[in-house]
Amino acid sequence: MTIQLTDLHVEFDQGFQLKHINWQVEKQQHWLITGANGAGKSALAAVLAGYGDIQSGSTGGLPSPIGWVSFEAQAELIDAELKKDDADITDVISLGTPVREIIFTSEIDAAIAQDLITKFELDYLLNRAFRKLSTGESRKVMIIRALSCKAELLILDEPFDGLDSSTHAMLQTHLSGLAQHTPIVMVLNRFDEIPDFVSHVAYMENGELRHQVERNDEAAYAELYQLLHLKTTQLQIPPADTDTDIPALNPQQPLVKLTNICVKYTDMVLINNLDWTIEANQHWQLSGPNGSGKTAILSLITGDHPQCYTNDIFVFGFQRGNGESIWQIKQFIGYVSTALQWEYRVGTSLRNVIISGFYDSIGLYSKSTDRQKQIADQWLTLLGMQDRADYPFNKLSYGDQRLLLIARAMVKHPPLLILDEPCLGLDDINRQLVLALIEKICEANETSVIYVNHHAQDRIAGIDNYLALEKSADNS
């Protein structure tokens, strides 16, 4: 048995779409479908069960019978029972179908079903109307039906939801036995519930199948675990250290105001007549091709560009050129770039990399406080790196280093975080890890983010303001 989905586009009743699905499930494989809420996990599982309106592409090799457990299948069965009350015979009140008849259909292996009924301790419910069951009880009935039909494929959408610990363990054991001869596709939100028999993981996002990973590929599996952690965790951005607070800014003033900016050199004009205002808690995407002036604008804001004193620049309460120091400006900014990552080659621990953000240093040369260590550990937990707190930074993967440097830049909760091409040099999954962390920072609504990249269409949830630069005619 080989199930093949090829360039599949599928629509569902609620307007949700699956797009560009290319997926192959082999006979000896057991898949986990995962992703954030609304990513399309259940929709992909439903396609295997024959649901959805295929717009283009093809499916092949779908077996029969299929055992399917899902909230949608459960709702369908309950709805069918409720419709029995809609009969035109007004002097008859339907009592509903008893559980016994719901379970023991012609497709069911009665011995397997009875064994599961006993294990689930549902004997006392067999004569009760199915529609009178609690959500948890009806869920167990659905599981028993699916596991008793001698299915050639099992599709289990959140099968452990609502089960107590002993029932959970029993079901895990039973599924491990079935996995010896029946392929299983599961939908789970929690990685800690993944059965040992799962061999492959599919990651969904925005209706697309973004990643397919073999579980024994430890590096790829760890990255996918980390991505899911960042996408689904309820953890919030860790707090600032009250002992190293940044001076308060006037909430009535913009963070940055650039007026009629002009940057020109002997042989060209790079930027001309640019106005840009960044208010507190605004998030911006700055995009444009090479040579359009993105780096120059950032340098004007940070005070590193020689022409910042010949332009009308207001930053963090200072009108540039009135005696302020560059460090007075930079204390309000967190900055991450590929150049910084090249410079940050020290072998200090992950915890100390984050703590160094309190001191704006590369490496840690001051004694940290217990509070700073606690905050650093909270950042590591958010990043899914809590078990590597003492691991050397220069031994990390390139993508994990980028995540650490973003946490380092954020640890003081600066009013402005500048992320200059933060995804440069990253593969797709590490790129999504970085973007997930940026989304988390935007959600916190405490720091304004400037996300710099080349492509205006490469947008991030939470960023609603866009400045797209073009090459000047004098710089073509």
How many beta carbons lie within 10 A of that of residue 398, not counting itself? 12
**What distance in Å separates the CA atoms of residue 204 and residue 37, rounded to the nearest whole number?**
10
Q: What is the pLDDT along the chain (476 residues), one digit of tens a residue?
A: 799 999 999 998 767 899 999 999 998 899 999 887 778 999 999 999 999 999 999 999 999 999 999 887 887 887 777 777 655 554 555 667 899 999 999 889 999 999 999 999 899 989 988 888 877 788 889 999 999 998 999 999 988 887 777 888 899 999 999 999 999 999 987 777 889 999 999 999 889 999 999 999 998 998 888 888 888 777 788 888 877 778 888 988 999 999 999 998 887 888 899 999 999 999 999 988 878 889 899 999 998 888 888 899 999 988 987 877 888 888 899 999 887 887 777 778 999 999 998 888 777 777 888 999 999 999 999 998 998 999 988 888 888 888 999 999 999 999 999 999 888 878 778 888 888 899 989 988 889 999 998 766 667 888 999 999 887 666 55
- Is 143 contained in some domain? yes
Q: In what order do the strands lie in the sheet with 465-468?
A: 333-337, 416-420, 448-453, 284-287, 465-468
Q: In what order do the strands lie in the sheet with 268-278?
A: 268-278, 256-265, 312-315, 318-319
Same domain, 66 and 181: yes
- Our CA dihedral for 455, 457, 458, 460, rounded to 10 degrees, sits at 130
**What distance in Å separates the CA atoms of residue 444 and residue 359, rounded to the nearest whole number?**
23
- Is 448 contained in some domain? yes
**What distance in Å separates the CA atoms of residue 409 and residue 221, rounded to the nearest whole number?**
27
Same domain, 393 and 319: yes
User: Going by C-beta distance under 8 Å and a sequence separation of 6 or more, which residues neighbour residue 1?
Assistant: 26, 27, 61, 63, 152, 153, 183
CATH number at residue 312: 3.40.50.300
Looking at 209, 232, 255, the residue that finishes a domain is 232
Q: Name the residue among 404, 360, 362 with its Cα closest to residue 379.
A: 404
Looking at 178, 198, 232, the residue that finishes a domain is 232
Same domain, 259 and 192: no
Same domain, 152 and 196: yes
**What distance in Å separates the CA atoms of residue 215 and residue 201, rounded to the nearest whole number?**
7
Same domain, 471 and 346: yes
Same domain, 41 and 133: yes
**What distance in Å separates the CA atoms of residue 421 and residue 337, rounded to the nearest whole number?**
6
**What distance in Å separates the CA atoms of residue 462 and residue 284, rounded to the nearest whole number?**
9
Distances (CA, A) of 218 to 199, 201, 202, 214, 406: 12, 12, 15, 8, 25
CB 281 within 8 A of CB 445: yes
Q: Name the residue among 275, 266, 258, 415 with its Cα closest to residue 335.
A: 415
- Is 171 contained in some domain? yes
- Helix residue ranges per DSSP H, 233-369: 294-302, 326-330, 338-343, 350-355
**What distance in Å separates the CA atoms of residue 473 and residue 467, rounded to the nearest whole number?**
18
Same domain, 197 and 308: no
Question: What is the pTM (predicted TM-score) of this model?
Answer: 0.74
Same domain, 198 and 258: no
DSSP state of 172: H
- Is 15 contained in some domain? yes
- Is 237 contained in some domain? no
* The pLDDT of residue 85: 61
Token look-up 């457990």 returns 69
By DSSP bridging, strand 17-26 and strand 153-157 are unpaired
- For the residues of 91-143, what is the DSSP string, one character each? T------BHHHHHS-TTS-HHHHHHHHHHTT-GGGTTSBGGGS-HHHHHHHHH
Same domain, 195 and 257: no
Same domain, 444 and 322: yes
- Is 161 contained in some domain? yes
Same domain, 300 and 421: yes
Looking at 232, 260, 295, the residue that finishes a domain is 232
- Say how many domains are in the chain: 2
Domain that holds residue 173: 2-232
Same domain, 20 and 83: yes
Q: Name the residue among 430, 34, 21 with its Cα closest to residue 202.
A: 34
